[in-house]
Structure formats: C-alpha cells, structure tokens
Amino acid sequence: MLETRAAWGRPGLVGLALLGVAAGCGRPSADARRTIDAFVGAVQAEDVSRLYCLLAGAAQSEELGTDEAGRREGFRAWVEDRIQGYDEGRDAGWVEPQDDGVGLVKLLALGRGTFYAVTHVDSLGQGAVRARMELRFGYPSIDLSGFPPGTTLYLAGAPPGRVQVVRVPERGEVRARVLESVDLDWVLVPNADEGCGSALAIVSVRAVPESVREEDVVWTF
C-alpha cells in the first residue's frame, strides 16, 4: 500500500465441505482470476452493486433484510461501514484484516499499484476453488521526491493489517519497516446470482502467515 493524503458480520457466507484438493487449470482457473480482478476493481471503485453480486451469499442473507430492496440497502450500509472502518484504522496504524476482503484490498493497494498475480488455483470440490495470490510491494524502488513536505504516506507493514504512517520532511530521511511480499488465499464458490456476469463469488480472503516477508526502506529528502 502506498496511499497519500495532502451491520452484519458476513454476507451469509456459504459453508464449504472441502472434498479434496487437486491442481486447478482451464476454465475454473480463468474464472477465479476474472472474479478476483472484478472484486478488486469493485472495492477500489466502491461499486456497491458489483460487490453485492461478487460476495457469496449477500443476495440471500436475511441479516441484511427480508426482501431484495432491503438486502441491497443493508449491504450498502455494511460496505460504507467497512470503508469507514478502513479509513479510521489506516489513520490509527492498524486495519483489522477481516476475511470479506474489502479492507485487505484497500490496505494492500490491490489495483492501485501493488503487483499481484494468481499463481495457482486448487479445486475444493463442488465447484469451489482456492486461489493463491502473490503480492510484491517494491517500496525501495518508489521515488518519493516529488511529494511536497508534510505529505502523509500510508505503507503496508507486517503483520498484514499494520500501517506505517510517515510524513515527508523538509529534509532528512524517512525510515520504515514495510512488507516486501505476502501471499493471499482466496476461496470462491459458484455464483448463485445468474445476472452477476461472474461464474464465481468470493467467500473469503486471508493472508498466508508463513508467506510474510518484511524489509527496511530508507528515503532521503
């Protein structure tokens, strides 16, 4: 993450019976990648309608409301609450990495400059898959000299959820211990919303603890 500045618990997430893991390929793999990319874009655009169909179970969750209109309004309120929670946590230095993925996408700046790639997709049975995503941040290669003094920078730290908040000085150095790389595991299931345009829907997104790599970075101004 490099960012600058001058309800309900889960949407009725589908319970999964993990029926064995096999290497994924072909259409399920491509569908997983397309769904993840669509989800990342919808989070960053704060596209509530798109998120409503991409998060598994949202359209069926009675926690949100007893009819379609009520569920959509309840979902909108939930998304707004999650975004507000992210903003508050970012400023405080810690964003709780809940497994719905909304906060993690913003926290790790997916779709906003952080390199990511889905490295493999495994079958969990009954159309469900687990997709492993590799993230690399590359903070040492970022040139911050163009930012005016006083600019606040938000950098992803470790463990995932920690935010390193630094401010550009008039002169001198800025030091931070930041994420170098981390993997995410995405669980996806067949999408019950036929009008969504996505074959799969997101169940959960979690960082893989043993994949976390940190590094120290120094910028001189």
Each residue's pLDDT tens digit, 124-170: 999 999 999 999 999 999 888 888 999 999 999 999 999 999 999 98
**Do 139 and 217 meet the contact criterion of CB atoms below 8 Å apart?**
yes
Secondary structure of 90-117 in the HEC alphabet?
HHHCECCCCCCCHHHHHHCCECCCEEEE
Q: Give this prediction's pTM.
A: 0.85
Given pLDDT bands bounded at 50, 70 and 90, which one contains residue 24? very low
Mean pLDDT rounded to a whole number for the chain: 86
Secondary structure of the chain in the HEC alphabet?
CEEEECCCCCCCCCCCCCCCCEECCHHHHHHHHHHHHHHHHHHHHCCHHHHHHHECCHHHCCCCCCCHHHHHHHHHHHHHHHHHHHHHHHHHCECCCCCCCHHHHHHCCECCCEEEEEEEEEEEECCEEEEEEEEECCHHHCCCCCCCCCCEEEEECCCECEEEEEECCCCCEEEEEEEEEEEEEEEEEECCCCCCCCCEEEEEEEECHHHCEEEEEEEEC
Residue found by looking up tokens 């990648």 in the block: 33
**Do 118 and 33 meet the contact criterion of CB atoms below 8 Å apart?**
yes
Q: Is the pLDDT of residue 22 over 90?
A: no
**pLDDT tens-digit readout, 173-221:** 999 999 999 999 999 999 988 888 899 999 999 999 999 999 999 998 8
Domain boundaries, the chain: 2-6+24-220
Output the pLDDT for position 146: 84
* Token code pair at residue 155: 């950098």
Output the pLDDT for position 54: 96
**Do 155 and 178 meet the contact criterion of CB atoms below 8 Å apart?**
yes
Pick the CATH number of 2-6+24-220 from 3.10.450, 2.40.50, 3.30.300, 3.40.1000: 3.10.450
Angle, vertex CA 217, rays to CA 212 and CA 111, nearest 5: 60
Mean pLDDT calculated for residue range 26-47: 92
Mean pLDDT calculated for residue range 49-70: 81
**pLDDT tens-digit readout, 60-74:** 676 776 777 888 898
Instruction: Estimate to the nearest angstrom the gap between the alpha carbon of 210 and the chain centroid.
Output: 18
Q: Is the pLDDT of residue 8 over 70?
A: no
